[in-house]
């Protein structure tokens, strides 16, 4: 009999003496999450592939598979009987999980909704995972959520048009696949640099426009970015981001000869 099924049997017997110890709760909860993680990883690999360029339809497809997997995971966790001292924390974690699953359901409703969920700065299960970790269940935070999880690059989407970007303001540190969806009529790119503390993207853009050296403003100018993407196309780049503030801009020339950045096509995001 598996640890998860054994836990389910114990939980069904009733009585205070049948409650799990904190150690047993952590061990059996991690078994439930580990099994879920394998299914999630398989779903992400099969639906999104490895080229780092998922389409909105692919995002929707993977969410449709993720929803029942996470529902099954929460059901498995609910069968566990926590020790009395951890009951409130455990129940809180499961309530947060139900709210996160609802966010996944909404994301799975359409390609557009799925793309918006993937582009969100926060993993919908971030608070759930913190709550589960507080009772010793850590394996659930290592799987692939809508943002990708720890075992693969997180997926974030920025949209470009004339002459602006639209994307998340906050990203998590670590491996990130940045996707640029060009919804404009001209080519667009996304060059990314990490700024020194207290520096803004506006300061860097103004310095560039004035022909000044930006070395004193930039902490790392080798971060990378997405190469020029034709109108209607999608490009991507895998980055390894550390905490800090990042500026991004498009330097492709407009028909009038001015670079897009001079027309206001730049922005910044924070990594934490």
**pLDDT band, very low/low/confident/very high, at 147 (cuts 50, 70, 90):** very low
Instruction: Answer whether 179's CB lies under 8 Å from 52's CB.
Output: yes
Residue 103 pLDDT exceeds 50: yes
Element (H, E) at 42: helix 22-48
Rounded to an integer, what distance in angstroms lies between the CA atom of residue 107 and that of residue 112? 8
Nearest Cα to 112, choosing from 164, 65, 170, 63?
63
47 versus 198: which is more confidently predicted?
198
Q: What percent of the chain clears pLDDT 70, i.e. is strictly above it?
A: 85
Give the distance from CA 87 to its chain's centroid: 29
**pLDDT band, very low/low/confident/very high, at 121 (cuts 50, 70, 90):** low
CA-angle at 218, arms to 164 and 151, nearest 5°: 75
Nearest Cα to 59, choosing from 145, 184, 159, 165?
145
Q: What is residue 7's predicted lDDT score, i.e. its pLDDT?
A: 35
Q: What's the whole-number average pLDDT of the chain?
A: 83
CA dihedral 205, 206, 212, 215 (to 10 degrees): -40
Whole-model pTM over 0.85: no
Greatest alpha-carbon span in the chain? 78
């Amino acid at each position: 009999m598996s640890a998860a099924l054994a836990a389910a049997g114990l939980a069904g017997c009733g009585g205070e003496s049948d409650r799990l110890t904190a150690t047993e709760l952590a061990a059996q909860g991690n078994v439930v999450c580990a099994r879920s993680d394998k299914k999630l990883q398989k779903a992400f690999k099969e639906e999104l592939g490895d080229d780092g360029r998922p389409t909105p339809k692919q995002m929707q497809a993977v969410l449709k598979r993720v929803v029942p997997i996470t529902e099954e995971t929460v059901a498995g966790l609910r069968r566990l009987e926590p020790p009395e001292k951890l009951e409130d924390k455990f129940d809180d974690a499961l309530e947060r999980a139900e709210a996160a699953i609802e966010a996944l359901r909404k994301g799975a409703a359409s390609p557009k909704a799925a793309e918006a969920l993937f582009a969100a700065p926060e993993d919908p299960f971030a608070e759930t995972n913190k709550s589960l970790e507080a009772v010793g269940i850590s394996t659930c935070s290592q799987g692939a959520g809508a943002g990708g999880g720890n075992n693969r690059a997180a997926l974030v989407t920025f949209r470009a048009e004339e002459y602006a970007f639209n994307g998340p303001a906050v990203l998590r540190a670590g491996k990130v696949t940045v996707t640029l969806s060009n919804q404009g009529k001209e080519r667009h790119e996304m060059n990314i640099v990490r700024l020194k503390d207290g520096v803004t993207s506006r300061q860097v853009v103004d310095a560039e426009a004035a022909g000044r050296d930006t070395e004193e403003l930039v902490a790392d100018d080798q971060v990378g970015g997405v190469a020029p993407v034709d109108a209607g196309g999608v490009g991507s780049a895998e980055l390894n981001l550390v905490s800090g503030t990042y500026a991004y801009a498009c330097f492709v020339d407009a028909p009038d000869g001015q670079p897009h950045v001079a027309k206001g096509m730049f922005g910044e995001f924070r990594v934490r």
